[in-house]
Amino acid sequence: MSLATDYEALANAAAVELEEAPAQEILRWAAEHFGKRFCVTSSMEDAVVAHLASSVFPGVDVVFLDTGYHFAETIGTRDAVAAVLPVNVITLKPLQTVAEQDARYGANLHDRDPDLCCSLRKVEPLNRGLGGYDAWATGLRRDESPSRANTPVVAWDAKRRKVKLAPIARWTQADVDAYVAANGVLLNPLLWEGYTSIGCSPLSCTAKPGEGEQGRAGRWAGSGKTECGIHL
């Protein structure tokens, strides 16, 4: 049996065993099984999962995708996380700068073909960056959007052949708020300006949600696109 087959079986068993487990227990399971071949990814909307992971695995790698299109506040949140948490922040960059991408595909590719832009600036760098890991954790939550409603706490990421964790999949926004308040967790300051989900800065990619909207409603609003491709 190959290592990947073992990991697939391990992930499938853990999905059942850890479904009701607290987030820290899920992260501890990952640290025990994968050690330094486990990382956390963060969009730097908040530092909740990085904080949780560092509490059970100090020095854990926290991977951030620097698309070249981030808000200054997001880069600032990344730098603050690196400064105050016992984590090792790793910044991944696309193969091309924004200027190089503009020269090849024309300016503002995000407005014309956001799937291609996300593929070049998020999916490819993440796939490359995860090469050195066997397991990765995300901050996906079931209450964020219909497309995330069935997110397992542990899964086999068949596309990347890695174990994928969502330790706060069962959390609600109220759970996040309570954890942030109790632990003084860093938040992206844009959350105080009315944004409820923070991605890249072009208006076509991240906008404040409209009246009565919440969660990820402001992401690629009106385009039909709901995910960047990392979690598909």
Give me the residues that bind ligand SF4 (CB under 6 A), please: 67, 69, 110, 114, 117-118, 121-122, 199-200, 202, 205, 228
156 or 220: CB nearest ligand SF4: 220
CA distance 56 to 2: 29
Half-sphere exposure of 146 (CA within 13 A, CB side): 4
Q: Where do we find the tokens 């922040």?
A: 89
166 or 228: CB nearest ligand SF4: 228
115 or 175: CB nearest ligand SF4: 115
Of all residues in this chain, which one has the CB nearest to ligand SF4 in the complex?
200
CA dist 29 → 15, 60, 70 (Å): 11, 13, 32
Q: Is 118 a catalytic residue?
A: no
The least distance separating ligand SF4 from the CB of residue 139, rounded to whole angstroms, comes to 16
CA distance 144 to 131: 28
CA distance 226 to 230: 11
The least distance separating ligand SF4 from the CB of residue 12, rounded to whole angstroms, comes to 31
The least distance separating ligand SF4 from the CB of residue 219, rounded to whole angstroms, comes to 8
- Positions annotated as catalytic residues are 228
